[in-house]
Amino acid sequence: MIKHHISDKLLMAYSAGTLPEAFNLVVATHISLCDECRARLAGFDCVGGAVLDQRIAPAALSSGALSATLEKIKRGDGGGTAPDAPVTAAHGDTVLPGPLRSYVGGGLEQVQWRSIGGGVRQAILPTSRNASARLLHIPAGTAVPDHGHRGLELTLVLQGAFVDETDRFARGDVEIADEDMEHTPVAEAGADCICLAATDAPLKFRALLPRLAQPFFRI
């Protein structure tokens, strides 16, 4: 059962198309798992559509526009899964939801993990430069170094769970961390924790070694 959801502010920004791609990916992946946030997003989409109806004057279409559109739909033109589509996991992969699979190129077996120390692995995903997205694989019982934030960080749990000074976060939960938060996430015992994290600024580590390694691991 999902306890920690995307905020209204972020859902409205997602609906309006103003979030960086990395944050869009986290939101899209979360709403593919969360009925509550998917319903709230639909409400914001409806409000946005009503506002557009009031502000945009009708435009005349060519006589063949409808038939051409129907033909494209029939052929499947413009196909492919958009990053914001609430698609469920396929091919038996119960960890990576559909929106995330399209970035990875498949399931967990396609993830190109890279060790960043302490047993923790990461895979940086291809997104626009104004924010970064990465998958994190944290062994059960392992702590991520104590850190703060210079900007916004969204962390979505895909497998296992972690706890920090604020609460416990399990599959589908999203932790929203800003400049006021400093924490030490610890993966729960029992199962390795896999997360999708997006940041728009480097983290602030207290310990010297993580600070020295930070430029190399782009965290």
User: What is the CATH code of the structural domain delimited by 1-219?
Assistant: 2.60.120.10
Confidence of residue 217 (pLDDT cuts 50, 70, 90): low
DSSP per-residue codes, 19-84: S-HHHHHHHHHHHHH-HHHHHHHHHHHHHHHHHHHHHS------TTHHHHHHHHHHHTTT-S--TT
In degrees, rounded to 5, the angle at the alpha carbon of residue 203 between the alpha carbons of residues 11 and 168 is 60
Question: Mean of the pLDDT values across residues 27-48?
Answer: 91
Domain layout of the chain by residue ranges: 1-219
99-126 pLDDT, tens per residue? Answer: 999 889 899 999 999 998 889 999 999 9
Given a cut of 50, whether residue 86 has pLDDT beyond it is no
How confident is the model over 86-97, as a mean pLDDT?
Answer: 59
What is the per-residue pLDDT across 121-179, written as a single tens digit (0 to 9) for each? 999 999 988 999 999 999 999 998 888 888 999 999 999 999 999 999 999 999 999 98
The residue type of 142 is T
Cβ-proximal residues to 203 (8 Å cutoff; 6+ apart), any chain? 147, 148, 149, 150, 153, 214, 219
Residue 33 pLDDT = 95
DSSP string of 132-199? EEEEEEE-TTPBPPPEEESS-EEEEEEESEEE-SS-EEETT-EEEE-TT--B--EEPTTS-EEEEEEE
How do residues 46-76 score in pLDDT, each as one tens digit? Answer: 875 544 445 556 667 777 777 777 777 766 5
pTM of the model: 0.77
